């Protein structure tokens, strides 16, 4: 009797295995992500509720003190607002300038188009730190632009263009532009251009047909590109830490400082978790939009 | 009709001209920091200056003569190559399973694999830093490889999905029906037909790891420090031309990898990827 029961259990287990066997193919990838991403993130969440005793020493607890501190202290509110401002600015510029560029590239053809696309992808291939170094050389006190300006005689003293919000925006745009362009291009490639031709044949003017057809059809793409640009510039660390001034701090710099310099893990973890939640919310929004967009395009 | 007429008059078309101008400015903007870095690296003088005071390879000599930079370069390769191998294997398998059939939980699998790719690197960096301390992997190459895989696996997963979009899975089923096991089918039927895509994915995962900074900053110790982190360290103190040479070496290593891929796959496929 007992053994018969066991046998049945084994059979049931085997049945479950047989039905879900095809999921084994995902096991290595999913296991890696769960083990090295989700578990660490949950551990981080746990630490964010701890008490801070002294540098590197914490007491297990369950308090929201660090969250409350970060979201109510005026010093940190300034940091949040500054980060939002920069991310908003970068997102707007990248969309306003990126849209016409993507439009032009989509309408071009042949070898020209391939070259344009290659130039967009090259910055994605080169690493960010190298690009930041390049901006130092271009914007620095003895850099490219200042040499030209001094040479022509427009200014007599070198302009200071690094370690300020301007250089942070320039650097972040460099990060964000390729992605924004690729998203916009892929969305516009999906537009059926014969609709425009039809609009034109039916008497719509050039700008009207652009606005009514092309622009309206690419709104979901614009939204997704904007959300990506926002998440990217909001959480980026390398650019503001190198090109920014030490007085104007962003959220990610605060996270790194709390953890690497102050060794205040609970505080750093809480800020990091706020940053994480914001990016996840934005990504869910973009996922929703892209599903809506897919329906809209049909 | 009208569109065709306009195409003929394109030369004097103001809006198109403005668009073209805008495009050129943006593309120059994207290329500028890379080109400038390469130019500066061949500078003869002691400082960064324009125009360069002459052509010399002194900064490359300084780079190749500096034990520290060579070690850092070696570290980068020792991290990028295992990342490439592991993430390609895992990512290709996942993409195959994902594209083969529709099943319940398909979206969940996609989301789980893609989420790390879309989360700021600094968050992955600090959460892993704490985690690897707990499991005793702190300061090891393995920990950095694990961190990089979180970005490299989604890269491979996405790219191979694109390759598999036009793939006919019936051939595989036929092989299975004729008696080949799943492993034999994979190596004899599937892999040869998608090998170019797999190869491109390998190169991209290598580049992802080789140039990655945010995760490596937190996970590397002085023994395992990678090139981007070391460049970051030296940028904190001065903008020395040796960094330009180092950066150029990185750029060319990346382009060498891409060149091999382009040669094998045809430039059009990479541009469309």
Whether residue B87 sits in one domain with residue B147: yes
B115 vs A37: CB contact, 8 Å cut-off? yes
B119 vs A121: CB contact, 8 Å cut-off? no
How many distinct structural domains can be found in chain B? 2
Whether residue B90 sits in one domain with residue B204: yes
pLDDT at B187 over 50: yes
d(CA A19, CA B141): 38
Q: How far is B179 from chain A (nearest CA, A)?
A: 18
d(CA A147, CA B9): 41
pLDDT for residue A196:
78
Burial, B215: exposed, middle or buried (Cβ in 10 Å; 0-12, 13-18, 19+)? buried
d(CA B197, CA B185): 18
> What is the per-residue pLDDT across A225-284, written as a single tens digit (0 to 9) for each?
898 899 889 889 999 998 988 888 999 999 999 988 888 899 999 999 999 988 888 878
Q: How far is B135 from chain A (nearest CA, A)?
A: 11
pLDDT for residue B66:
84
pLDDT at A4 over 70: no
B115 to chain A: nearest residue by CA? A280
B26 vs A97: CB contact, 8 Å cut-off? yes
Which chain B residues contact residue A196 at CB under 8 A?
3
pLDDT at A136 over 50: yes
Whether residue B117 sits in one domain with residue B198: yes
CB B134 within 8 A of CB B152: no
Q: How far is A160 from chain B (nearest CA, A)?
A: 15
Within a domain: A58: no
pLDDT at B144 over 90: yes
CB B218 within 8 A of CB B232: no
How many distinct structural domains can be found in chain A? 1
pLDDT for residue A24:
79
Mean pLDDT throughout B78-85?
95
SS (HEC) of A115-136:
HHHHHHHHHHHCCHHHHHHHHH
* Residue closest to B155 by CA, chosen among A119, A125, A272: A125
Angle at B73 between CA A120 and CA B256, to 5 degrees: 40
pLDDT at B4 over 70: no
pLDDT for residue B271:
47
pTM, two decimal places: 0.84
> What is the per-residue pLDDT across A18-74, written as a single tens digit (0 to 9) for each?
767 677 788 889 999 999 999 999 999 998 998 888 777 788 888 888 899 899 999
Within a domain: A54: no
Whether residue B72 sits in one domain with residue B34: no
Lowest mean pLDDT among A38-47, A260-269, B135-144, B187-196: B187-196
Within a domain: A43: no
pLDDT for residue A293:
66
> What is the per-residue pLDDT across B12-55, written as a single tens digit (0 to 9) for each?
678 888 888 999 999 999 999 999 888 888 887 776 666 667 78
pLDDT at A182 over 50: yes
For chain A, the first-to-last Cα distance in angstroms comes to 60
- Quote the domain boundaries for residue B34: 2-41
Q: What is the mean pLDDT of chain B?
A: 83
Which chain B residues contact residue A234 at CB under 8 A?
120
Within a domain: B253: yes
* Residue closest to B223 by CA, chosen among B74, B18, B55, B24: B74
Mean pLDDT throughout B130-134?
90
B211 vs A105: CB contact, 8 Å cut-off? no
> Sorting pLDDT into bands at 50, 70 and 90, what band is B181?
confident
Within a domain: B53: no
Which chain A residues contact residue B272 at CB under 8 A?
117
Within a domain: B48: no
pLDDT at B273 over 50: no
Q: How far is A137 from chain B (nearest CA, A)?
A: 7
Proportion of chain A above pLDDT 90, given as a percent: 32
ipTM of the complex: 0.83
What the block records as the tokens of B99 is: 């594209």
Greater confidence (B71 vs B183) lies with B71
CATH number at residue A99: 1.10.3720.10
- Quote the domain boundaries for residue A138: 75-297
Mean pLDDT throughout B223-230?
90
Which chain B residues contact residue A128 at CB under 8 A?
211, 213, 228
A44 → closest Cβ in B19, B121, B127: B127
Within a domain: B46: no
pLDDT for residue A297:
55
CB B116 within 8 A of CB B151: yes
What the block records as the tokens of B146 is: 């694990």
Contacts of A46 (CB under 8 A, 6+ apart): none
Q: What are phi and psi of B165, to 5 degrees?
A: -60, -35
What the block records as the tokens of B12 is: 């004097």
Greater confidence (B244 vs B3) lies with B244
Within a domain: B50: no
Greater confidence (B271 vs A246) lies with A246
Proportion of chain B above pLDDT 70, given as a percent: 88
Residue carrying structure tokens 């009514």: A212
List the single best residue of B50, B91, B123 to mutate versus A (max A Cβ within 10 A): B123
Residue carrying structure tokens 């006190």: A141
CA dist A163 → A93, A111, A230 (Å): 20, 39, 21
Within a domain: B47: no
Greater confidence (B157 vs A161) lies with B157
d(CA B174, CA B185): 10
d(CA A84, CA A100): 25
Angle at A249 between CA A245 and CA A250, to 5 degrees: 125
Within a domain: A143: yes
CB A266 within 8 A of CB A52: yes
Within a domain: B84: yes
Greater confidence (A99 vs A288) lies with A99
* Residue closest to B200 by CA, chosen among B266, B116, B149: B266
What sign results for the dihedral spanned by CA atoms A276, A281, A286, A288? positive
pLDDT at A116 over 70: yes
d(CA A99, CA A41): 36
B150 vs A33: CB contact, 8 Å cut-off? yes
CA dist A229 → A236, A274, A279, A282, B16 (Å): 11, 18, 11, 11, 26
| The most confident of A140-144, A151-155, B150-154, by mean pLDDT | B150-154
Whether residue B37 sits in one domain with residue B96: no
């Amino acid at each position: 009797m007992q053994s018969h029961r066991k046998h049945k259990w084994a059979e049931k287990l085997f049945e479950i295995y047989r039905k879900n066997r095809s999921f084994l193919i995902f096991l290595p990838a999913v296991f890696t992500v769960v083990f090295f991403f989700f578990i660490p993130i949950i551990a981080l969440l746990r630490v964010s509720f701890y008490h801070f005793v002294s540098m590197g020493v914490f007491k297990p607890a369950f308090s929201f003190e660090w969250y409350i501190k970060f979201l109510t202290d005026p010093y940190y509110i300034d940091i949040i607002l500054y980060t939002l401002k920069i991310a908003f600015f970068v997102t707007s510029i990248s969309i306003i300038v990126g849209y016409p560029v993507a439009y032009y590239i989509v309408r071009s053809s042949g070898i020209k188009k391939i070259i344009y696309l290659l130039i967009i992808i090259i910055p994605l291939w080169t690493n960010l730190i190298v690009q930041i170094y390049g901006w130092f050389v271009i914007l620095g006190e003895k850099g490219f632009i200042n040499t030209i300006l001094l040479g022509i005689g427009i200014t007599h003293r070198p302009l200071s263009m690094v370690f300020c919000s301007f250089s942070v925006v320039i650097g972040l745009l460099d990060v964000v532009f390729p992605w924004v362009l690729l998203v916009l291009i892929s969305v516009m490639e999906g537009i059926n251009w014969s609709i425009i031709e039809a609009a034109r044949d039916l008497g719509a003017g050039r700008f009207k047909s652009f606005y009514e057809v092309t622009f309206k059809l690419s709104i979901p793409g614009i939204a997704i590109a904007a959300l990506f640009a926002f998440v990217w510039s909001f959480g980026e660390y390398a650019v503001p830490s190198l090109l920014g001034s030490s007085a104007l701090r962003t959220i990610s710099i605060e996270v790194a400082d709390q953890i690497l310099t102050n060794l205040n893990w609970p505080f750093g973890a809480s800020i990091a978790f706020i940053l994480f939640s914001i990016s996840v919310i934005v990504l869910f929004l973009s996922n929703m939009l892209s599903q809506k967009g897919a329906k809209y395009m049909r | 009709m009208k569109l065709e007429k306009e195409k003929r008059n394109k030369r004097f078309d103001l809006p198109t001209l403005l668009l073209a101008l805008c495009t050129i400015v943006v593309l120059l903007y994207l290329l500028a920091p890379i080109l400038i870095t390469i130019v500066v690296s061949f500078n003869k003088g002691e400082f960064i200056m324009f125009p360069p005071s002459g052509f010399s390879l002194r900064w490359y000599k300084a780079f190749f003569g500096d034990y520290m930079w060579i070690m850092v370069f070696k570290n980068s390769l020792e991290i990028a190559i295992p990342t490439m191998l592991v993430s390609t294997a895992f990512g290709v398998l996942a993409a195959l399973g994902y594209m083969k059939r529709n099943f319940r939980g398909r979206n969940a699998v996609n989301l789980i694999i893609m989420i790390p790719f879309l989360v700021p690197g600094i968050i992955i960096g600090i959460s892993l830093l704490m985690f690897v301390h707990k499991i005793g992997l702190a300061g090891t190459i393995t920990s950095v490889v694990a961190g990089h895989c979180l970005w490299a696996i989604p890269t491979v997963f996405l790219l191979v999905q694109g390759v598999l979009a036009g793939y006919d899975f019936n051939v595989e089923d036929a092989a299975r029906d004729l008696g080949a096991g799943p492993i034999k089918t994979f190596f004899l039927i599937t892999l040869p037909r998608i090998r170019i895509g797999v190869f491109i994915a390998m190169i991209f995962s290598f580049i992802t790891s080789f140039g990655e900074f945010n995760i490596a900053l937190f996970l590397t110790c002085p023994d395992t420090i990678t090139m981007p982190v070391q460049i970051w360290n030296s940028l904190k103190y001065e903008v020395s031309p040796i960094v330009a040479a180092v950066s150029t070496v990185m750029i060319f290593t990346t382009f060498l990898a891409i060149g091999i891929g382009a040669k094998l796959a045809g430039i059009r496929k990479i541009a469309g990827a």
